[in-house]
Structure 1
C-alpha cells in the first residue's frame, strides 16, 4: 500500500471506464478496477460481474486489501443493445436492470463505509437516453433512468456525512460499445448534434475527473456530456 488516494472504477478495462482509470491515475490515485473481462485493466484489476452482489463485495475487499481504503468510486460497467419493446424478453429486461442499476447499487453498498470514512465521492455513468429516451432503447433507457433517481436519492442521504454523489450522462461516445454500423454513428444522426460528432471517452472521463476531484460543492448533479443532444 502507498499513501496515495485510492479509486475504484467498474468497467475500467475499456471505453469510458478505461479513460477514467487513466484520468484518475494522472491525478495521483491508485486505481483498482472491477470488470467482467479485466485483461487490459492493469495490475489492480479483479474479474467481477457487477450484477452479483456477493462477487462485488469480494472484489471490493480484494481491491481494499491491495491498495487501502477507497476514497472515490466510478461506476461505468455496462452494455448496450437496441430492440423494440415488443421484442424485449423478460430476461433481457431483468439483465439490463441487474447490470446497470443493480451494479451501481451493489458497488455503492459495498464501498459506502470507505467513502464515509474518507469523505469521498461516487460518480455514476448514466446516459443521454436516461434523460431523453430513444427509439428501440426502452430497456436501456429505463435502466439508465433509474440510475438518475438512485443517484439523487443517495446523494441526499449521504451528503451530510461528507460523501458527494453525482452522475454523468454521456451521449453516444466513440467506444467499442457502438458497432461500426450503429445508427448513432450515421451522418444523418450526427448532423442533428450541435457539435456534429460523438464524444470521446477522454472527454467524458475529464468530466468524471472534475466531479471526483474538483466539484466539492456538487451533490446529486447530472452532467450531460452529449455534444449538445440534450440542452
Structure 2
C-alpha cells in the first residue's frame, strides 16, 4: 500500500469532504482543501467557488506549488437544486452542473500534470443518482451521470499514467439535505451511511500501489433504496 502524501480534497470543509480530510490526516497524509468555506481542520486551504473555472484552476496550482506537488485528488464537492425542470430557476439548475461536473473537470485538469509526475490517483464522486435517475433531480442526475462518463473516459485516457477511481456513494448523514423542502429530505428512519465510513473507502482506493486500481466502487447502506 502506498503512502498518501499530498491529497487535494474539494468540498473539504463539510460532509464527505471533511470526513475524507480527517481520514487522510489519520493515515499520515497531508490534506489540501478547496471549498467556499474555511475547513475546521487545521489544513492548508483555498476558499474558492468551483463554478468559477479560472479561480478553481488557480487555487489548485497555488496549493500544489505551495505543498511541493500533488499525490492524489478527491473531488467531493457537490450541490443540488431539487424540483421539476420547469420550476427550478435556470441559473440554479446550471450552477449544479457548473459545480458538480465542470468544477470537477477543472480541478482534475489543473491537477493532472502534478499527478502524472507522482503517478498519483484521482477519485471522483458521482452518486447512486448518477446511475439511477429519479424525478425532480434533472440537474443533479445530469451532473452525476456526467461524472460517471467523465471518469470512465479519463481512466481510458490516462491509463498507465495515473490511477482513476469512480466513487458511487449512496445517501449519507451530512448537511447536504439541510435547507431543502421537506418532500426532498430523507424520511424519518432513512437508511444513510456515516460519511466517515465512505471516506475510509476513498482512502483505501488512494492507497493502492501504482498499476493496481480500484476502478469503480459503490458504497451505500445495505438498504439503500436508490441502488441497484
User: What RMSD in Å do the two structures reach over aligned CA positions?
Assistant: 2.0
> How far off its partner does 1:49 sit?
1.1
**Does the CA-based 8 Å contact 2:122-2:163 persist in structure 1?**
yes
- 1:209 match: 203
**Does the CA-based 8 Å contact 1:12-1:77 persist in structure 2?**
yes
> How far off its partner does 1:182 sit?
6.0
2:221 equivalent to 1:227: yes
CA distance in 2, matches of 1:41, 1:132: 34
**Does the CA-based 8 Å contact 1:148-1:222 persist in structure 2?**
no
CA distance in 2, matches of 1:39, 1:209: 19
What count of residue pairs does the alignment treat as equivalent?
220
- 1:194 match: none
CA distance in 2, matches of 1:128, 1:52: 26
Structure 1 moving runs of 4+ over 6 Å: none
**Mean Cα deviation higher: 3-12 or 44-53:** 3-12
CA distance in 2, matches of 1:147, 1:224: 14
* Long gaps (5+) in structure 1: 191-196
CA distance in 2, matches of 1:15, 1:98: 19
- Report SS of the residue matched to 1:177: helix
- Relative to structure 1, the CA distance from residue 42 to residue 134 in structure 2 (aligned partners, 3 Å threshold; closer, same or farther) is farther
- Report SS of the residue matched to 2:158: helix
The structure richer in helix per residue is: 1
2:68 equivalent to 1:59: no
Which of 201, 213, 217 is 1:218 aligned to?
213
Equivalences for residues 131-210 of structure 1 within 5 A: 131-161=131-161, 163-179=162-178, 181=182, 183-187=184-188, 190=190, 197-210=191-204
> How far off its partner does 1:86 sit?
2.0
> How far off its partner does 1:39 sit?
4.4
User: What CA deviation, in whole Å up to 9, does each residue of 1:153-195 have, x standing for no partner?
Assistant: 001100122x01111111111001113846553147x3xxxxx
* Long gaps (5+) in structure 2: none
- 1:102 match: 102
- 2:93 match: 93
> How far off its partner does 1:200 sit?
0.8
> How far off its partner does 1:40 sit?
2.2
CA distance in 2, matches of 1:227, 1:23: 20
TM-score under structure 2 normalisation? 0.89
2:14 equivalent to 1:14: yes
CA distance in 2, matches of 1:42, 1:30: 11
